[in-house]
Amino acid sequence: MELFPEYEFKPQNFNKFPLDWSKIFGNNNPIHVEIGFGNGEFASYYCKSNPEINYVGFELSITSMVKAQKKLKNNNIKNAKLILVDGKFGLKEFFNDESVEKVIMNFPIPWYKNSHSHRRLVLRDFFEILSVVLKKNGYFELLSDQEWYVVEAKENAEISGFFKIFPIEKNPKRSFLTRYEKKWIKFGRNIYRLKIQKISSGKIERLIGGEHEMPHAKGKIDIKKIDTINEKVFKDENKIFIVKGVFKNTNKDNEYLIKIISSDKDFVQHYFLVLYEKGSEWILKLDSESNPYRTPAVKWSVKKLMEVLS
């Protein structure tokens, strides 16, 4: 996946959040964020057309990450970082208050069904996040071929009270069209654009702010209890984790790998914990290869499992 390490950026390797982007890019240029960069068509065009900005792109698809890296490399882009994580989480956790000049969202998945509506990015909490991380007078721009989706975004932005809302544009003139956008226009589908401008700030609660050490626990345990934790669910307010497998190291008698799925509200992570004996104690810590973000649920999974095994 990491074809060109100058583009794929891994915030989970850092231990202090929000991040200092001036150090990461080596300059103080304005930050522009794209949520859902797809195959990187727009990112390549945008970075080349705006060399004076620092571009940060979010995406969940590994395939898209590979394609986008290739496009950036082929176009010799110097001012871009790509991150494989949920865009709403990244926007909230990685950027300081009033540090982003513009956020762009091109043709996000609309999640049509009511049962999937909670997955839509343009819900009210998204605009709370925008109101905090955008600079005053900064912009958010949304494009979609689904008019109802853009209308819903506009209504949620209005309800928040933090933005100046511009009228929705139908088939706006744009200097660059993606391959899919051209295809949709060819088949007679209309394109809708919403622009909003920040006028005031809200408040958000971040999950991983401040300094972070690798969570670990140690103590005496009853190793016979290891067989009781598989498929067990642990809940505590907004934190939840499930043990999805316990694997014994066949080469070492006293070492285990524990697969975990955790959730902080709507942010889900998959990772492994390592349990091993050292001297008269057992140590439980994150496996460095899976390397999740140190959210409250991740930290709690380490503490709670050690407590259960004690």
> Which CATH number fits the domain that encloses residue 118?
3.40.50.150
Residue-level pLDDT at 118: 61
pLDDT for 119 = 59
Q: Looking at 169, 198, 227, which one is the last position of a domain? A: 198
For residue 220, is it within any domain?
Answer: yes
Burial 168-191 (b: 16+ CB within 10 A, else e): beeeeeeeeebeebeeeeeeeeeb
Please tell me the total count of domains within the chain: 2
Q: Is the pLDDT of residue 9 over 80?
A: yes
Residue 252 covered by a domain: yes
Examine the domain organization and report whether 292 and 148 are in the same domain.
Answer: no
The span from the CA of 191 to the CA of 293, in Å, is 36
pLDDT band at 178 (very low <50, low <70, confident <90, very high): confident
Domain identity same for 194 and 217: no
77 belongs to a structural domain: yes
Per-residue pLDDT of 79-111, as tens digits, reads 999 999 999 999 999 999 999 999 999 999 875
Of 165, 198, 231, which residue constitutes the final position of a domain?
Answer: 198
Is the domain of 255 the same as that of 295?
yes
> Residue 204 domain-assigned?
no
Q: Sorting pLDDT into bands at 50, 70 and 90, what band is 246?
A: very high
Between 41 and 5, where is the model more confident? 41
Q: How confident is the model over 11-39, as a mean pLDDT?
A: 96
Residue 48: HSE in the Cβ half-sphere, 13 Å Cα cutoff: 15
Final residue of a structural domain among 198, 232, 267 = 198
For 171, how many CA atoms within 13 A lie in the half-sphere containing its CB?
Answer: 7
On whether both 265 and 168 belong to a single domain, the answer is no
| Residue 116: per-residue pLDDT | 46
Q: What is the mean pLDDT of residues 46-71?
A: 97
- The verdict on 229 and 85 lying in the same domain is no
Domain with 223, as residue range(s), is: 213-309
User: 217-241 burial, b if ≥16 CB within 10 A, otherwise e?
Assistant: beeebeeeebeeeeeeebeeeebbb
In-domain check, residue 5: no
CA angle 271, 276, 282 (to 5 degrees): 115
- Percentage, residues of the chain above pLDDT 70: 95
pLDDT at 291: 86
Q: Which among 87, 93, 48 is positioned nearest to 64, based on CA atoms?
A: 87
Residues 154 and 221 placed together within one structural domain of the fold:
no
Mean pLDDT of 204-230: 88
Average pLDDT for 144-156: 95
Verify that 142 and 113 share a domain, yes or no.
yes
Residue 65 included in any domain: yes
Query: Does 124 share its domain with 178?
Result: yes
Are 224 and 155 found together in one domain? no
Say what the pLDDT of residue 106 is.
Answer: 94
